[in-house]
Amino acid sequence: MSSEPLTGAARIQAYLKTLPDAPGVYRMLSATGDVLYVGKAKSLKKRVTAYATGRVHSDRLTRMIFETAEMLFVTTASETEALLLESNLIKRLKPRYNVSYRDDKSFPNILLREDHPYPQLLKHRGAKSTKGVYYGPFASAGAVTRTLNTLQRAFLLRSCSDSVFDSRTRPCLLFQIKRCSAPCVQRIDASGYNALVQGAENFLSGKSSAVQKAMLAEMDQAAEAMEFERAAKLRDRLRAMSHIQSSQGVNPASFDEADLFALHVEGGQTCIQVFFFRAGQNWGNKPYFPNMPFDMKPEEVLKSFIGQFYDERTAPRLLLVSHEMKEAGLMAEALASSAGHKVEIAVPLRGEKQQIMEHALTNAREQLGRRMAENSAQAQLLEGVADAFGLDTPPRRIEVYDNSHIQGAHALGAFIVAGPEGFEKAHYRKFNIKSADLTPGDDYAMMREVLSRRFARLVKEEAEVPPNEKWRRPDLVLIDGGLGQLSVACQVFADLGVEDVALASISKGHDRDAGREHFYLPGKEPFRLDLKSPVLYYLQRLRDEAHRFAIGGHRKKRSAAIGANPLDEIRGIGAARKRSLLKHFGSAKAVSAANLTDLSSVEGVSATLAKKIFDFFHPGG
């Protein structure tokens, strides 16, 4: 007769004999294999002894110990290394008893490229593999776009790609509206352009006062020399620089570079406002709402959040935090080892830094208040959705599907995701329609392909350990369409064996958003909701968001196809030869109609290349 497997303190006790008195990371697992908690310790043996003997001081830890059925251990060379590994595992595994938050993709930067004679100013996100100077991070893509637009007005640097730059024969619209100096057509020489580049570098590096002072002096000189047109251009550039500074809000004078973390807790929920300061300028802020056990102290939340925040990011030299953290020195040492420079963590107590922290805390408090109000309303709407569609509980994940095409061309399917926290844009997905035998414009076949690919992926992902969070099972699938689309969805679910997912479709009625939508459920009569129902308005918003996302993807796909030049597909034709061909023939269509003799007469086109071009446009000819 087999005995029940040990759990709780008795199970933890069994590990003590083999544990070393060394730093490391431990994981506590439930009987089903779920990771309950990830922690680090200076001495694994001493930390686990405390759990085994019940020397804990909160209900949360008592529950966690009771649920523990297994532990996993990794020893490390130092406590600093253990802290870094702990942060990485918490971020990846999202254990129930740790602080975790929904991470974003990397923050955007401004890149000043240095791999071209005329450097390009552009938005950049991701690995910093391109040669150039990176300025950032900025809190959002919108903040970068606004700054770039103003920098164009202030410094007239090009934003076009190299291929566009090389193919220009006359100035573009940006030159006409005074946002580019048109180096592509030699409206400015290399030395003049480099002076503009140096000014932009100085401005983004925090030397804005010197740049403005020099430009003001140049404007005065131009005015005295009665060069009023040049003086007016310099005046407009000065105004653009002032606009950047005025739109940034609080710009510190007592430090150049820092990230600031302001934490506010209320009603069992937490908001952490993160502000980015670089080159003495405020480059935006972003709120985070980490999931946390209700009895965790603010300083513990902040420590865990910061560790995860910099898991794949480089920390600046100064971190300003709203709460004194235990092991702040250890955290600074760990961040410094990853960043390659010294990192200081400080709680501002007086002066300008404290004033900026108070401003950030006010932002955190107000943001959390707005979120709590929104969540309350959102919860009521989801309860209404459950009532309307006969669900046992309010849905936590709703997926809404739509297709977009023009007479079958550039067909694309998409779904959006919504839940208790609103739209979850990180989980949105697009699908290029791939079926070769699909009749153009067949909405049913397109919907079948999209649903089949999505839910086949679901079946596959649910077999993985741990499953992929972004492809998790929805509670409700809402199809933009009528009974036909719903029938397709039911057939796909039956073929793949997908159960426990509610299905519904919404038809637009005669007038979109007029409240005349009909809703269809499998095996039931169609119905409508009251014209003034908040649930109807919410479902319309979901439907329209899916439509916006699908048609946006379709337009990008169509624009890419329209902008494609067949010459780009011919191997051996670079920017210079492409420019020569277009200048000689006038268009790619004319190139396609040219004979071998005409092609060979173009400068830079050999007989071999002419044959290759001719064969490309006349296969088998």
Residues 199-243: pLDDT tens digits?
888 887 767 667 777 778 878 887 888 878 778 777 877 776 666
Integer Cα distance of 63 and 44 in angstroms: 20
Integer Cα distance of 45 and 39 in angstroms: 13
Q: How do beta strands 476-480 and 422-423 pair?
A: unpaired
- If DSSP codes are grouped into helix, strand and coil, which group holds residue 71? strand
Residue 247 has pLDDT above 80, yes or no: no
Q: Read off the pLDDT band of 1 (50, 70, 90).
A: very low
Mean pLDDT estimate for the chain = 84
pLDDT in tens, 163-173: 888 888 888 88
Integer Cα distance of 566 and 617 in angstroms: 9
Integer Cα distance of 109 and 136 in angstroms: 5
Residue type, 126: G
pLDDT in tens, 442-470: 788 889 999 999 998 888 877 665 566 67
Q: Read off the pLDDT band of 559 (50, 70, 90).
A: low
Q: How far from 179 is each of 49, 160, 240, 245, CA to CA, in Å? A: 66, 12, 11, 18
Beta strands (DSSP E) in 298-420 are 318-321, 344-346, 398-406, 409-419
Q: What angle do CA 351, 304, 307 make, to 5 degrees?
A: 80
Q: Are 518 and 486 in contact (CB under 8 A)?
A: no
Q: Are 43 and 23 in contact (CB under 8 A)?
A: yes
**Top-tier CATH class for 258-369:** alpha beta
Provide the CB-side half-sphere exposure for 285 (13 A, CA): 25
User: Is the domain covering 398-546 a CATH 3.30.420.340 domain?
Assistant: yes
Residue 3 has pLDDT above 60, yes or no: no
> What pLDDT, on the 0 to 100 scale, is given for residue 220?
81
**Top-tier CATH class for 9-93:** alpha beta
Domain ranges within the chain, ordered by starting residue: 9-93, 109-247, 258-369, 398-546, 566-617
Integer Cα distance of 131 and 124 in angstroms: 12
> What pLDDT, on the 0 to 100 scale, is given for residue 244?
59
Residue 563 has pLDDT above 60, yes or no: no
> What pLDDT, on the 0 to 100 scale, is given for residue 407?
52
- Lowest-pLDDT choice from 10-14, 46-50, 298-302, 563-567: 563-567
**Mean pLDDT computed over 156-168:** 87
The DSSP output letter for 427 is G
- If DSSP codes are grouped into helix, strand and coil, which group holds residue 599? helix
Beta bridge partners of 417: 399
**Mean pLDDT computed over 581-595:** 80
Q: Are 435 and 449 in contact (CB under 8 A)?
A: yes
Share of the chain above pLDDT 90, in %: 31
* Alpha-carbon 352 to chain mean position: 32
- If DSSP codes are grouped into helix, strand and coil, which group holds residue 25? strand
> What pLDDT, on the 0 to 100 scale, is given for residue 173?
86
Q: Read off the pLDDT band of 597 (50, 70, 90).
A: confident
> What pLDDT, on the 0 to 100 scale, is given for residue 372?
81
Give yes or no on whether 9-93 and 398-546 have one common fold: no
* CATH number among 1.10.150.300, 3.30.1360.200, 3.30.465.10, 1.10.150.20, domain 566-617: 1.10.150.20
